[in-house]
Chain A
Amino acid sequence: MSKRPLVPSFLQKLDDKLLRNKPGAWATRVHLVIYFVAAFALLLFVFCYAVFFDAKQYSRIESWNVFVGLIAFIGFVFWLIFLLRFNVFKRYGNWSAMDGLRDFALYFISIGAMVAVCFVPSAVETMRANQQFGNEEIVKDINELNINACRLEYNILPLEWTVDTCKLVDKARFPQAVDVVVPTPDTVIDSVRAEEEYNRIRYTYLDTAELRSKLEIADSVLKLNDSLYVFYQCPNYRFISSYNADDYSAVKMFSSADIYNSTVKNYKKPDRSALMKRMVELQAKYASNSPYYYGEYNTIDENDNYETRINKTYDFTRIGNGIDNAVRKKQAWIEDWPMYLRIFYYTTLLLTMLVFIFRHSTVKTFFLSVLAALLLAILTGLLMVVSQGDEISALSFMIVYYVVFAVLGLSIFKTGVRKAVQGIGLNLFLFATPFVPLIFVALNEAMQYNRYSEPLRVYEERDPAQTALYFLIAEIAGSVILVILIQPLFKKLYRKWYSAPEE
């Protein structure tokens, strides 16, 4: 037995044992892959843990992903070289009833381990960001920064709220409609200086959708009647405002109106030195090292407005960047995990299928299959361009192709010699199988969508969550179908095709 470098004795023993007792499993080298991937992942984890110590800095995770991805790819190629050395199937060895499924599962595990390692830097970055900053901590600090800035710079803060009187109209039917209605006091939602605005005569015309949006963000609203609204907008006191920072926090970020009510409206002179000290602390805690783009950014100009002055005085641009960076890192895995999962799953699945096909096909037929798939894609693209085909046409083409592949693949049961065209059909039949339910769901969705475009058809809004659920079910169903068919259908077809005499 050859002594492999960097392999501990227990793994060497396992390798020996597998070689002598489970040659099929041994040939996949899954035990070595898991060991080396785990060792590399651990090393990477330690390295990333040390490197990603400051969550407020700009994330370079894309570069890390490319770097680790390249290493994983080299590992994949290295594994392939070892994998292709030994093949029970092509040596016509003894095999058990579930060997095909077992091989597929072991390829999936091996490739999955190599793909998964690419996510280590991103996971460590998120972990480090969560260790460094708590959800509530960030929100409290943002509120504190804004309030302190207001208290320190009260003298330059604007105190007047802006007013916007809006009239609700049907813009489609009455684009020129102008109306003035006397308000009734009992419709007032927020009474902030409402009476003073009654005499405004310039309206902003809104339709219902615009009104709804405006209501959501308004600091204060006075409803004069069903179609006339007075919107009051507090001056901006949120100099630091990180998007989504309070999504996962019990404490919420103060709005400008909150700050106005708590701090500005009843202003009390602060202890400036204590506040300044605290601001310096927070600056050190959050300010990122991101460079300014336009020279000495912090030099205050006499034409600067109050927001710019405050930003420059307290280095809020850098602090804001730092908080944004930290929040983005903290929430990366919460918000993007379905995407990460899909990237992981489909990369692994596609590579696994390619490896499985390569292991059961001849080299010539494998590459002819790849070529056939590329040619079909190009031809279909050309046909689509020439015939101005839509999504339904493209999906219909895919279904027709799948049927052709299936017929070619299944015809292997009826023939006594090995034909390349049948091998190509079988390869593509297997490769397309997990995507067939997705194609059907996509086709159904496209047809439903087209139906709503028909004249006199009442539009029924599709629930995006329900559509997403259909696609998710189709994704799972495709994989389940593949797993179910691998042993009883695909492995049998490959057995018959590969061992058949040549023409």
Chain B
Amino acid sequence: MNNPAAEISSYLKHGDYSVAVRRTLDLCLDSGNDVLIEKAIGWSRQYHAIELGEAGKALPAVFSEEAEKILQEASATGAGSVEQHKHLISAENISKKYNNGSFSLKPINLSVDTGDVLGVVGENGNGKTTLLRCLAGQLGLNNGVIRYHLLENPDAYAIKNHIAFIPQRIPKWYGMLKDNLHFSAAIAGINGDKNNLMVDFMLERLNLSSYAHLTWDQISSGYRTRFEIARILLQKPRLLILDEPLANLDINAQQTILTDLIFMAKGIHNPMGIILSSQQLHEVEKVADSVIFIKQGNCIYKSSDAEGKITSNAVEFETKAERESIIRLFGEGNIELQFNGGFYTIISATLSSQEIIGKLIDAKIPVTYFRDITYSTKRFF
């Protein structure tokens, strides 16, 4: 992302207004210029007002003109330059065994830098949440050590101030949602007018402004997750740990939230690391810099270690064709074919994914879904 302003202009040019607005807000935040941020917030409000209004109504020309002005100003401040990566957290051989002996997390090593996204995947009850809670300082370790590189001799309170953990079941908020956001910003040291500005920014950034005057009981579970993310981001954590953040979100919101988090993590306003667990493998893998797979407390796969070690390619696809016709197409012994009731999985040491899809199309086998899972943890499910 060498020239974010140009990238945003391209979005505007092609009518991708939603992403353009969000990216413009990020750019202005990175500029550190409060006046510019305020302008961007106003501009975003204009967009959302039109978006909420008559469906299909075209955006006025002045909207794009104003956008260009904001982008020019933001570019002039040098916003958009990338923050250098810093070591954030590293865990060495950490393990955890519960007192009742029901489950144990086997020794795991991992590290996260600022701007990195680490995805933790695995089936239910296999230790994802335990690992995240250990990293967040919520559970004591039996063995191993966790280092928080940006803190000097931290106590547990400082660690928890440094890290934000969003659990799968978010505790209820009381009072008006906006008051909670103001409070969170204030306890992080964002006071006075800056407090108002940052709350307004976060509401616009996550498209929550129209819900800010409601209470917890008046919003859906998806919006609760988004408000919780807004609250946590206002506290400017250096490491954000999210346990199943996508569980309550619809498919569009999943995409939006994940990309928003990535953009914000990699921004220079508050560069942070992100660790998230999810069952949505493809969504996580799409945005994560590295992924680990946990099965029965063991880390059985790390994407960072997998490069060069994978000896076979794997694809999954959906078709109404018979198994025999697929085997006939590729030849018995050339591939390993599995069927899980919904998808076929082909594992081949000789054929690449492009070659596999090519053969399927050439043979006129109807394919309704296709994905290369060579480097995906899906292979382990």
Using CB atoms and an 8 Å cutoff, list the residues of chain A in contact with chain B: 1-2, 19-24, 26-27, 82, 84-86, 88, 91-94, 416-417, 495-496, 498-503
Contacts and interface: CB of A to CB of B under 8 A. Distances in A.
20 contacts: A1-B176, A1-B182, A2-B175, A2-B213, A19-B182, A19-B186, A20-B182, A20-B192, A20-B196, A21-B186, A86-B175, A86-B183, A94-B187, A94-B188, A416-B140, A498-B157, A499-B137, A500-B140, A501-B139, A502-B140
Nearest to B139: A501
Contact of A2 (B134, B179, B185): B179
A93 B161 contact: yes
Contacts of A24: 187
A501 B187 contact: no
Nearest to B173: A85
B363 interface: no
Given A20-B182, A94-B189, 7 more contacts: A2-B176, A19-B182, A20-B186, A20-B191, A23-B186, A86-B180, A501-B139
Given A92-B161, A94-B188, A501 B156 contact: yes
A1 B160 contact: no
B99 interface: yes
A360 to B, nearest CB: 12
Nearest to B213: A2
B140 A23 contact: no
Contacts of A499: 137, 155-157, 159-160
B179 A23 contact: no
Contacts of B155: 495-496, 499
Contact of A23 (B157, B160, B187, B192): B187
Max chain B C-beta neighbours (<10 A), residue from A22, A27, A84, A94: A94
Contact of A93 (B137, B187, B196): B187
B207 to A, nearest CB: 21
Nearest to B199: A20
A88 B182 CA distance: 12
A135 to B, nearest CB: 53
Contacts of A82: 175
B138 interface: yes
Interface in B125-152: 134, 137-141
Given A496-B155, A501-B138, A501-B156, A21 B191 contact: yes
Given A93-B187, A93-B188, A94-B187, A19 B179 contact: yes
7 A-B pairs with least C-beta separation: A93-B187, A499-B156, A23-B186, A85-B174, A499-B157, A501-B140, A417-B140
Contacts of B277: none
A500 B156 contact: yes
A20 B138 contact: no
Max chain B C-beta neighbours (<10 A), residue from A24, A496, A498, A500: A500
B176 A92 contact: no
B99 A503 contact: yes
A86 B186 CA distance: 12
A21 B192 contact: yes
B184 interface: yes
Contact of B183 (A2, A27, A84, A503): A27
Contacts, number: 84
Contacts of A84: 174
Max chain A C-beta neighbours (<10 A), residue from B138, B161, B179, B186: B186
Nearest to A415: B140
B191 A501 contact: no
A143 B99 CA distance: 83
Which range contains the number of B residues in contact with the other chain? 20 to 34
B238 interface: no
Nearest to B179: A2
A7 to B, nearest CB: 14
B24 interface: no
A27 B183 CA distance: 9
Nearest to B231: A91
A26 B157 CA distance: 22
A27 B182 CA distance: 12
Nearest to B98: A503
B224 interface: no
Contacts of A94: 161, 187-189
B31 interface: no
A493 to B, nearest CB: 12
A26 B188 CA distance: 15
B140 A503 contact: yes
Contacts of B159: 499
A88 to B, nearest CB: 5
B195 interface: yes
A116 to B, nearest CB: 27
A84 B184 CA distance: 15
A21 B191 CA distance: 5
B205 interface: no
A501 B183 contact: no
Contacts of B189: 94
Nearest to A497: B156
B178 A1 contact: yes
B71 to A, nearest CB: 30
A23 B189 CA distance: 9
Contacts of A19: 179, 182-183, 186
Contacts of A85: 174-175
A417 B196 CA distance: 38
Max chain B C-beta neighbours (<10 A), residue from A27, A92, A500: A92
Given A20-B195, A85-B174, A502 B139 contact: yes
A32 to B, nearest CB: 13
B192 A496 contact: no
A84 B161 CA distance: 20
A498 B179 CA distance: 25
Contacts of A417: 140
Contacts of A498: 157
A91 B138 contact: no
Contacts of A23: 183, 186-187
Contacts of A416: 140
A86 to B, nearest CB: 5
A1 B179 contact: yes
Nearest to A81: B174
Interface in B155-176: 155-157, 159-161, 174-176
B85 to A, nearest CB: 25
Contacts of A21: 186, 191-192, 195
A359 to B, nearest CB: 14
Contacts of A503: 99, 140
Contact of A496 (B134, B156, B186): B156
Contacts of B99: 503
A316 B157 CA distance: 73
Contacts of A2: 175-176, 178-179, 213
Contacts of B161: 92-94
B10 to A, nearest CB: 38
A21 B157 CA distance: 22
B182 A496 contact: no
A358 to B, nearest CB: 15
A86 B213 CA distance: 17
B25 to A, nearest CB: 21
A496 B159 CA distance: 11
A227 to B, nearest CB: 81
A495 B155 CA distance: 9
Contacts of A26: 183, 186
A85 B183 CA distance: 11
Contacts of B180: 86
A299 B134 CA distance: 90
Contacts of B184: 91
B187 A88 contact: yes
Max chain A C-beta neighbours (<10 A), residue from B140, B192, B213: B140
